[in-house]
Amino acid sequence: MKHAARSLLLMAAWCCPCVQAAADPSGPDQVRVPAGTYIPFLRIAAGPDQIPVRSFFLDTSPITRGEFLDFVRDHPTWRKSRIKRLFGESSYLRDWHDDLDPGTGLDEPVTYVSWFAARAYCEAHSKRLPTIAEWERAAGSDSRVITPPPERHIATPVGFAMGVPAPDLPPPRLNVGEVWEWNLDFNSALVSGRASSSGTASSLFCGDGYRARNADDYAAFLRYSLRSSLRADYALRNLGFRCAL
Amino acid sequence: MNRRGRWLLSIGVIVTLAVAVILWRHHSFTHAEHQTSSTRAPMSERSLYQLESAWRTDADRSLRLRELRGHYQIVVLMFTECVGICPILVKQLQHLQTTLPPAIDASTRFVAISIDPDRDTPQVLSHYRQQMHLDSRWTLLTGDSIAVREVTAVLGFNYAPGPADQFVHSSLVSVLDPAGSVIHQQPGAADMQDIVRIIAADKERRADLSHASSLRHAAW
């Protein structure tokens, strides 16, 4: 009978959601990014040269398909058949077989996720999406001069444009470059420098090129132009996310 | 009861309890979901009114976007200290307001949403209403930075803090139908009369739909 009582206790622990372990906010899967500065890639006339970035924690890797599966299990409104179109376009989780079946590659970054879904995931883990300033601080975009890439890089623009951890980060190593990533304030990217500009036409890639702080930084061009062309419901094949704290 | 019987009984108890707990959790879960979906049911999947963020009006009243339901809403994003396009856009919309045909005028309202939560308090918005002579058909809203980020991200409006306490930002007018779906967007500089044509066409389409459905009812 003692045996049975113990089994019952175990069973109760398994059934009660409150006993499930909460995610450790600063575990081995996060890197502590020291305070630093962010130099906006696009100059704004009379704007600040550097923006201070406070110290924060950043996931070392993008969220995986397996992790996202756990999330949609617990939060049915974010399953592929349930999501409202405002929060995720029709390609949302397109490469999943079913609501709870991502197929293979559970350790690979989840993609085809919208900004809303990425935000909801991070919030469910008591975290948030990193801002552009934070992301750029951690990815060390200012730490090297990037010249136009040789042909072989063009084949994988993501790996080329997203692959530079800042040199002053402590371990563990930050893994970047597998996918594009959502930022909390993605829609603050690449706006025109004039408040009186009309519409979005003037904020297209080439139109803003003259404002680039470093015209050789082709990688930053790619990142900024991608972000500025996104909308919150977009779900793209190579766009994932990670969380910050 | 022998040892084996007691053992079987305890296993039976555990299994029964486990099944009961699972069924109960499943039930409360589906029940909760059912309630949410039924309160949301009448809304279009693309409706902006699904956003749950809390706003404050210039009368310092709290407001959810879904309270704007029932009218066409012409939405503009602005901040009161804007020295660029925002006051011009508001003035252009005010002018549009005076030219609306009566039928459209009756079903159309205007919303100005501030992208400057720090400075645009309800009091500041209230002052702005007087200064710009905005009548009761205008709703002026301010919210926290996340609420602003969310609604701008949905509308495709880009903005960032700029020099001299200004924002650099898109200039955009959006039109929502009575259920909160975006039916039209245009840059501020475009012809405002397009908005009237779009609303008129949408009203006509709705009238046709409801006429067709009442005919079907009559036939039954």
What's residue B171's pLDDT? 84
CA distance A76 to chain B (A): 9
Are B189 and A198 inside 8 Å of each other by CB?
Answer: yes
Whether the bond between A172 and the residue before it is cis, its omega within 30 degrees of 0, is yes
- Asked if the Cβ–Cβ distance from B160 to A200 is below 8 Å, we say no
Mean pLDDT of chain A: 78
Closest CA–CA distance from residue B63 to any residue of chain A (Å) = 20
Of A44-58, A63-77, A153-167, A191-205, the least confident: A191-205
pLDDT exceeds cutoff 50 at A20: no
A116-164 pLDDT tens trace = 999 999 999 999 999 999 998 998 655 455 555 555 555 567 777 776 7
Predicted pLDDT of residue B39: 37
Mean pLDDT of A188-210: 46
Chain B residues lying within 8 Å of A1, measured CB to CB: 6, 10
| More confident position, A29 or B2 | A29
Interface test mutation site (partner A, options B47, B76, B170, max chain A beta carbons within 10 A): B170
pLDDT band at A181 (very low <50, low <70, confident <90, very high): very high
- CA B67 from centroid of its chain's CA atoms: 8
Is the distance from CB of B84 to CB of B166 less than 8 angstroms? yes
Return the residue of B nearest to A45 by Cα. B163
Q: Inter-chain contact A188–B159, Cβ cutoff 8 Å?
A: yes
Among candidates A145, A141, A150, A113, which has minimal Cα distance to A129? A113
DSSP string, A67-93: HHHHHHHH-GGGSTTT--TTTS-TTTT
In this structure, the number of other CB atoms found within 10 A of the CB of residue B196 comes to: 18
- Is the Cβ pair B169, A191 closer than 8 Å? yes
- Are B96 and B192 within 8 A, CB to CB? yes
Q: What is the pLDDT of residues B116-148, one digit of tens each?
A: 999 999 999 999 999 999 999 999 999 999 999
Tokens of B18: 């486990």
**Residue A188: its chain B contacts at CB < 8 A?**
158-160
List, in sequence order, the alpha helices (H) in chain B.
3-40, 85-99, 102-106, 122-132, 145-155, 193-219
Q: Do A199 and B158 touch (CB under 8 A)?
A: no
Which ranges of chain B have pLDDT less than 50?
Answer: 13-41
Percent of the residues in chain A that have a pLDDT greater than 70, as a whole number: 66
Instruction: Report ipTM for this prediction.
Output: 0.71
Question: Residue A100's Cα: distance from chain center in Å?
Answer: 22
Beta strands in chain A (DSSP E): 30-33, 36-38, 51-53, 56-59, 180-181, 239-240
Instruction: Give the pLDDT band of residue A46 (cuts 50, 70, 90).
Output: low
Give the pLDDT confidence score for residue A212 in this predicted structure. Answer: 61
Among B149, B170, B188, the residue with its CB nearest the CB of A184 is: B149
Cβ neighbours for B74, distance < 8 A, ≥ 6 positions apart: B93, B96, B108, B109, B110, B111, B173, B174, B175, B195
List CB contacts (< 8 A) between B50 and chain A.
84, 86-87
- Determine the average pLDDT of the residues in A39-53: 71
Q: What is the pLDDT of residue B44?
A: 82
CB contact under 8 A, A187 and B22: no
Alpha-carbon gap: A55 to the closest alpha carbon of chain B (Å)? 21
How far is the alpha carbon of B82 from chain A, nearest alpha carbon, in Å?
A: 8
Q: What is the arithmetic mean of pLDDT over A179-186? A: 94
Q: Examine the pLDDT at A39 and tell me if it is beyond 50.
A: yes
pLDDT at B23: 42
B210 CA: distance to closest CA in chain A (Å): 25
Q: Extract the tokens encoding B78.
A: 């602005």
Angstrom distance (rounded) from CA B162 to CA B170: 13
Identify all chain B residues contacting A183, using CB atoms and an 8 Å cutoff. none
Residue type, A151: E
Is the distance from CB of A41 to CB of A141 less than 8 angstroms? yes
pLDDT of residue A161: 76
Contacting B with CB below 8 Å, chain A residues are 1, 3-4, 7-8, 11, 15, 44-48, 76-77, 84-87, 115, 184-201, 203, 228, 231-233
Report CB contact under 8 Å: B158, A86: no
Q: Which of B22, B154, B163 sits opposite A44 (nearest CB)?
A: B163
Q: Which residue has the higher pLDDT, B105 or A45?
A: B105
How much is the pLDDT for B143? 96
pLDDT of A101 higher than 90: yes
| Contact flag A15-B18 (C-beta cutoff 8 Å) | yes
Residue of A nearest to B151 (CA): A232
